[in-house]
Amino acid sequence: MTRGPSAIVIAGPSGVGKGTLIEKLRQEFPTLFGFSVSHTSRAPRPGEENGKHYHFTTAEQIESDVAKGKFIEHAEVHGRHYGTSVAAVETVREQGKICILDIDVQGCRAARAKELVAKYVFIAPPSVEELEKRLRGRGTEEEAAIVTRLGNAMREIQAKDEKGLFDAVIVNDQLDKAYAELKELIKGDVEEAIKAQA
Ligand SMILES: Nc1ncnc2c1ncn2[C@@H]1O[C@H](COP(=O)(O)OP(=O)(O)OP(=O)(O)O)[C@@H](O)[C@H]1O
C-alpha cells in the first residue's frame, strides 16, 4: 500500500454537524484534506454531482463489489445503499491528503475490522432535543425522514462509548470549540500531510 497521511473517520448522528465541521477543516486547509467519494444507490439531491459528492450507482452493483472485497464499509441506511471503496480512500492518500470518511457507527466497526489506519472520531450532540432542532432547522428532510433519523441517532449515540471503537468523542455544542478540539486531535496528521506535500 502506498504511504501517505492516515485517514480520519468522522461519525455521529444525522444533523449533529459533521458536514459543518468537515467544511471548516477544508476551508482552513484547502489542500490537506480529501474526501473519499462514497458510492450510493440513493438519488442525487439538487446540486450533487456524480463522482464528486457520491458515485451514484445501483444497489446491485454495490452488492456485487462488496462481495469482491472492494469496499472498506457498506451499509443500508434509510433504505439506500452506501459504501466506501478501498480504491476511493487510496486515491486520496496517493495525493498526499488526509482522507476524511464521514460514515455511520456500523461503518466504523467495519473499517476497524478491515484495519483501516485512521483516527476514529465521534461527534455527539449536546442533547437529543438540540439534534432535532438542527435537523429541522436545516430543512432538507421531510417529517418522516426526520423521525427515522432521530430513531437512528439514539442507537448511534449509544455506540460512542463502545470499547475500542472511537479514539475520541467531541460534543458539538459551540461550533468553534468543537472545531478547536477536532483540530487538536488531528494536529499530528495535519503536520504529516504538510510535510508530505512540501
Ligand atoms: N455547533 C452547532 N450549533 C448550532 N448549529 C449547528 C452546529 N453545528 C452544525 N449546526 C447546524 O446543524 C445542521 C446540521 O449540520 P450538518 O448538516 O453539518 O450535519 P451532519 O452531521 O453532516 O448531518 P448528515 O449526517 O445528515 O449529513 C446545519 O444546519 C448546521 O448549520
User: Does the interface ipTM go beyond 0.95?
Assistant: no
Which whole-number Å values give the CA distances from 93 to 59, 73, 116, 170, 193, in the listed order? 27, 17, 12, 25, 10
Catalytic-labelled residue, pool 3, 26, 42, 45 = 45
Share of the chain above pLDDT 90, in %: 76
Give 73's contacts (C-beta < 8 A, 6+ positions apart). Answer: 83, 84, 103, 106, 107, 108, 110, 111, 114
Residue 130: inside a domain, yes or no?
Answer: yes
**DSSP string spanning 84-109?**
EEHHHHHHHHHTT-EEEEE--HHHHH
The answer to whether the predicted template modeling score (pTM) of the entire model surpasses 0.90 is no
**Closest atom of ligand 1 relative to the 137 alpha carbon:** 29
CA of 62 to the centre of ligand 1 (A): 28
| Residue 3, pLDDT score | 63
Per the prediction, the chain carries an average pLDDT of 92
- pLDDT above 80 (res 46): yes
Three-class secondary structure of residue 135 per DSSP: helix
Residue 29: pLDDT band by 50, 70, 90 thresholds? very high
Q: What CATH number does the domain containing 103 carry?
A: 3.40.50.300
pLDDT, tens only, 53-105: 999 999 999 999 999 999 999 988 778 999 999 999 989 988 889 999 998 89
Q: Is the CB of 14 under 6 A from ligand 1?
A: yes
146 Cα–ligand 1 center, Å: 13
Confidence at residue 88, expressed as pLDDT on a 0 to 100 scale: 93
Residues spanned by the domain of 33: 7-197
Q: Is the CB of 17 under 6 A from ligand 1?
A: yes
The whole-number pLDDT of residue 114 equals 87
Which grid cell sits at 61? 452493483
Residue nearest to atom 25 of ligand 1 (CA): 14
Is residue 1 assigned to a domain?
A: no
Cβ neighbours around 118 below 10 Å, total: 22
Q: Is residue 62 part of a domain?
A: yes
What are 118-166's pLDDT values in tens digits?
Answer: 999 999 999 999 999 999 998 888 889 999 999 999 999 999 999 999 9
| Count of the separate structural domains present in the chain | 1
